[in-house]
Amino acid sequence: MHKHPTALGLATTLLPVQPVTLTRPHAARRAARFFVEKFPGRSIYAVKANPSPDLLALLWESGITHFDVASIAEVRLVATTVPDATMCFMHPVKAEEAIHEAYHTHGVRTFSLDTMEELEKIVRATSGATDLTLCVRIRVSSEHSKLSLASKFGADPSELRQLLIATRQVSDALGICFHVGSQAMSPAAYSGAMERVRAAIVDAGVTVDVVDVGGGFPSSYPGMEPPPLEVFFEVIHKCFEDLPVSYSSELWCEPGRALCAEYSSLIVRVEKRRGEELYINDGAYGALFDAAHIGWRFPVELLREPDSNARDMAFSFYGPTCDDMDHMAGPFMLPADMKAGDYIEIGMLGAYGCAMRTGFNGFGSVDTIEVTDEPMVSLYTEDQHRVPSNVVTL
């Protein structure tokens, strides 16, 4: 992998024709250390957010020893990349063959479930193993999160008591897990979910060894500036301390976005301007899926020397494919004198952006270059080293 000091220097000296993915290993290391040192329990990286082998390795080196995997492909990836890591297979609906391989070949001992059918599947696939940590996923609200995860998974409330009792009987350690949704903007998301955990424990009368609060920890985007993560941690810790569990019970979390969003950004080139629309060389089928399909706004910054003195205005983007759906409405605030040939850095794409790329129409990022400057926005630094042009300061 090539290295370069800054995004600006890279764009203005190399003049890349294709989109370039920038990685900032120091940002991911800083985020990992933050969770390892400050979260009051175990932090388990959600591989789905960014499965880059380089990222997995540096998170491991920074103290993340457990990885949340959602498919047998992710199990194999982690087993190959960080073979000493502990894996937790936290997808509630798994192929029986995947469970069998994960347990018998890769040493996976932690699985999640939300139905009796899945429990029976796990017992069969592991040949009635007695060394399992089984986490029952309960359904909780996503009202405080930007992206809901409340409808697809989670035990039916009418079956939860029976499921917890049955799981307790066949597990070495029983856990309860949940997911408050992606990009939770308030610690109330976790306190409300923990009340449901409390009610489930009391109703079933079971001994719980693990409480897993899942993911949802936010990063900072334009219009989505969350409270400090320490506030989330304090609320979670207080709620956990108040649960009817033993002193030996463990608290887990599954950060994805929060560990990797600042790791990557993207340099794109403007190929055409049409009024307030900029045609760029990456888009909905590349790293900007979320910007196109759910209206996510990412920080953007013009990379030009000398810099523009023009006032910012709102732009939308079109990506490079022949598809009208390849459109990112924004608004993305950039200087009014934007023109074809200009370069833009789009930040905070380490989470999901890099993971959801396709090769549709033959477009995509070709080069990955490591840079040493700071990410455009960070929750892990006291000072904002770079203020993106579409964050308005009042």
Question: Which tens digits make up the pLDDT trace of 131-172?
Answer: 999 999 999 877 777 776 667 788 989 999 999 999 999 999
What pLDDT does 385 receive? Answer: 46
> Same CATH fold, 40-254 and 2-23+264-371?
no
Token output for 296? 């996510």
Q: Residue 383: what pLDDT?
A: 59
Residue 362 has pLDDT above 90, yes or no: no
Pick from 94, 194, 189: nearest CA to 134: 94
Beta strands in 58-170 (DSSP E): 66-69, 86-89, 110-113, 133-137, 145-147
Residue type, 184: A
389 and 334 Cβ atoms separated by less than 8 Å: yes
Contact at 8 Å (CB) between 331 and 293?
Answer: no
CA distances, 367 to each of 76, 83, 279, 304 (Å): 25, 27, 20, 20
Rounded mean pLDDT of 37-47? 97
Please report the pLDDT score of residue 141 as a whole number.
75
Give percent of the chain above pLDDT 70: 95
Query: Would you mind telling me the total number of residues written for the chain in this entry?
Result: 394
In the set 135, 239, 260, 322, the catalytic residue is 322
pLDDT grade for 4, boundaries at 50, 70 and 90:
confident
Q: With a cut of 80, say whether residue 203 has pLDDT above it.
A: yes
Distance CA 201, CA 204 (A): 5
Residue 366: CB atoms within 10 A of its CB come to 11
Q: Which band of pLDDT confidence, cut at 50, 70 and 90, is reported for residue 329? A: very high
pLDDT of residue 35: 97
Mean pLDDT value across the chain? 92
CA distance 345 to 335: 13
pLDDT, tens digit (0-9, with 9 covering 90-100), for 44-61: 999 999 999 999 999 999
Asked if pLDDT for residue 387 goes beyond 80, the answer is no
Q: Do residues 391 and 220 make contact, with C-beta atoms less than 8 angstroms apart?
A: no
pLDDT of residue 149: 67
Confidence of residue 122 (pLDDT cuts 50, 70, 90): very high
- Nearest Cα neighbor of 106 from 128, 133, 126, 121 is 126
Give yes or no: 322 in active site: yes
Identify the burial level of 301 via C-beta atoms within 10 angstroms of its C-beta, where 0-12 means exposed, 13-18 middle and 19 or more buried: buried
DSSP 389: T
**Residue 1 pLDDT grade (very low, low, confident, very high; cuts 50, 70, 90):** low
pLDDT at residue 37 above 90? Answer: yes
pLDDT in tens, 269-317: 999 999 999 999 999 989 999 998 888 899 999 999 999 999 999 999 9
> Which pLDDT value is given to residue 302?
97
342 has pLDDT over 60: yes
More confident position, 286 or 79: 79
Cα distance between residue 192 and residue 196, in whole Å: 7
Least confident of 68-77, 86-95, 137-146, 326-335: 137-146
For residues 110-123, average pLDDT: 97
Residue 87's closest CA among 107, 57, 59? 107
Q: How confident is the model at residue 394 (pLDDT cuts 50, 70, 90)?
A: very low
Angular region, 181: left φ>0, alpha ψ -120 to 50, beta rest: left
What pTM does this model have? 0.93
pLDDT above 50 (res 388): no
Q: What is the mean pLDDT of residues 323-345?
A: 95
What are 15-27's pLDDT values in tens digits? 999 999 999 999 9
pLDDT of 237 higher than 80? yes
Give the CATH number of domain 40-254. 3.20.20.10
State which fold the 2-23+264-371 domain adopts: Lyase, Ornithine Decarboxylase; Chain A, domain 1 (2.40.37)
Q: For the stretch 87-117, what's the b/e string if a residue is b when 16 or more beta carbons lie within 10 angstroms of its beta carbon?
A: bbbbbbebeeebbbbbbeebebbbbbbbbee
Mean pLDDT within 235-260? 95
Domain ranges of the chain: 2-23+264-371, 40-254
